[in-house]
Copies of this chain bind each other. A is one copy, B any other.
């Protein structure tokens, strides 16, 4: 067996010599994602087509579908039209629709004229659904059978139609109006006697999603019920497609990335971070940064308000960053726990009383520990009086920060806003303002100014 490195060298040699026999032999055993990565990352620009053309047709279309969309978009116009038509005909329906959305109008028209009616209709339908909807990621290549047939007849249909299908492990039983009457797994069909009616085996209370359902919800259903595929229906309850678990995993990863970014006030990026243009990155980040600049002016105003106290006890300033940062850090921990808990369904808005109660004690313990940590520094740096002010403030701001961090996502959730809007920078800013005000209020009360 060859190592990956040996294979890469051999492939490059074969490419340099334009040796299509060697190319097809070397690529035969490679996994599709590995081969697509090799073409996208290692093959020299301009030589991708030599590599693709060495593959037999169904495989070529499959590998092409795994290439990054940008590369597909770049390669498509350089192919002879007849070859492009063949390639597109054999691509998985969901990836084909994605590519079509990205092609130039002129090329799209040309292709449409050459494609068979079936593919044309398919592309038109899949491309029409809104981004982020179930319709936009579904595949139209599912196995379906009519009601009233036997297991043996069903297996014959499956065998005949299998090559074009995304999965054959879920078989959908449809009535005359193409509405979903039930679903049966290939596992059940294989085990059953061939003269049994499928209607007696199938599950009738089928969980489905409509074409305009959010992808996030589709992922949730697939993960919750361990589905291999979720059937997608239109508003007349007609089956129009399926979303498979592997596409759901990809969507789940993208959605999580969006959530994580949101937690750091980064708005949605159209491309991935690695591929995004500087302008796109700027636009996704500037919005909240400017809002937070204005929010932080309040912290400045808080300091200005206590100017006299500060001037009288300038040593107080030494501890200010420490106190506001601690409030912010504790608050961002709480907000992160709560926002993620709500996103995974681990906790719900209804648990708020129990969670805030628990947080009260956790935050108090954290505050006391941190107060202890600063007490000694405070005593040696600024004397007993200021040390006491700092310690008391620490307990209070950590508790305040934590309770805001936990409470704000709950509140946003109750008001039906996205709890992830309670991002770390926002919580930190709120903790900053209240930390400053608390600190100097306590100081001026205790130190008498």
By a beta-carbon cutoff of 8 Å, the part of chain A in contact with chain B is 1, 29, 31, 33, 155, 158-159, 162-163, 168-169, 186-187, 190-191, 203-205, 207, 222-226, 228, 245-246, 248-250, 252-253, 256-257, 260-261, 263-266, 272-274, 278, 281-282, 285-286, 288-290, 292-294, 296-297, 299-301, 303-304, 307, 310-311, 314, 317-322, 324-326, 328-330, 332-333, 335-338, 340-341, 344, 346-347, 351, 355, 358, 361-362, 365-366, 369-370, 373-374, 377, 398, 424-425, 428-429, 432, 436
Q: A223-B249, A300-B322 are in contact. List 19 more A-B contacts (CB 8 A).
A: A29-B205, A31-B225, A158-B190, A168-B187, A223-B253, A252-B252, A273-B338, A274-B341, A278-B365, A281-B337, A281-B358, A285-B362, A288-B329, A290-B370, A293-B326, A293-B373, A296-B321, A300-B321, A328-B428
Given contacts A292-B325, A346-B272, A370-B289, contact A300 B281 (CB under 8 A): no
* Residues from chain B with Cβ under 8 Å of A338 in the complex: 273
* Residues from chain B with Cβ under 8 Å of A425 in the complex: 325, 328-329, 332
Q: Are A329 and B191 in contact (CB under 8 A)?
A: no
- Residue of B at shortest CB range from A314? B307
* Residues from chain B with Cβ under 8 Å of A163 in the complex: 191
Q: Are B322 and A303 in contact (CB under 8 A)?
A: no
Given contacts A337-B266, A337-B273, contact A299 B321 (CB under 8 A): yes
Q: In the complex, what's the smallest C-beta–C-beta distance from A208 to chain B, in angstroms? A: 13
Q: In the complex, what's the smallest C-beta–C-beta distance from A69 to chain B, in angstroms? A: 14
- Residue of B at shortest CB range from A228? B228
* 25 A–B contacts from the bound complex (CB under 8 Å): A29-B205, A33-B224, A162-B187, A162-B190, A162-B191, A168-B187, A190-B190, A222-B249, A223-B249, A245-B249, A264-B336, A266-B333, A278-B358, A281-B337, A281-B358, A292-B326, A294-B373, A296-B325, A297-B377, A299-B321, A300-B319, A301-B318, A311-B314, A317-B317, A329-B425
Q: Are B273 and A340 in contact (CB under 8 A)?
A: yes
The one of B207, B253, B299, B358 in contact with A325, judged by C-beta atoms closer than 8 angstroms, is B299
Q: In the complex, what's the smallest C-beta–C-beta distance from A370 to chain B, in angstroms? A: 5
* Residues from chain B with Cβ under 8 Å of A304 in the complex: 317-318
Q: Are B190 and A155 in contact (CB under 8 A)?
A: yes
* Residues from chain B with Cβ under 8 Å of A257 in the complex: 340, 344
How many copies of the chain does the oligomer comprise? 2
CA distance A278 to B204 in the complex (A): 45
CA distance A369 to B248 in the complex (A): 39
The one of B159, B307, B332 in contact with A190, judged by C-beta atoms closer than 8 angstroms, is B159
Q: In the complex, what's the smallest C-beta–C-beta distance from A322 to chain B, in angstroms? A: 4
* Residues from chain B with Cβ under 8 Å of A261 in the complex: 336-337, 340
CA distance A5 to B198 in the complex (A): 30
Q: In the complex, what's the smallest C-beta–C-beta distance from A184 to chain B, in angstroms? A: 14
- Residue of B at shortest CB range from A330? B289
* Residues from chain B with Cβ under 8 Å of A286 in the complex: 365-366, 369
CA distance A325 to B332 in the complex (A): 14
- Residue of B at shortest CB range from A321? B299
Q: Are B346 and A273 in contact (CB under 8 A)?
A: yes
Given contacts A190-B159, A245-B245, A307-B314, contact A289 B344 (CB under 8 A): no
- Residue of B at shortest CB range from A163? B191
Lowest 7 CB-CB distances: which A-B pairs, in order?
A: A264-B336, A299-B321, A226-B246, A300-B318, A274-B347, A296-B322, A329-B425
CA distance A398 to B320 in the complex (A): 21
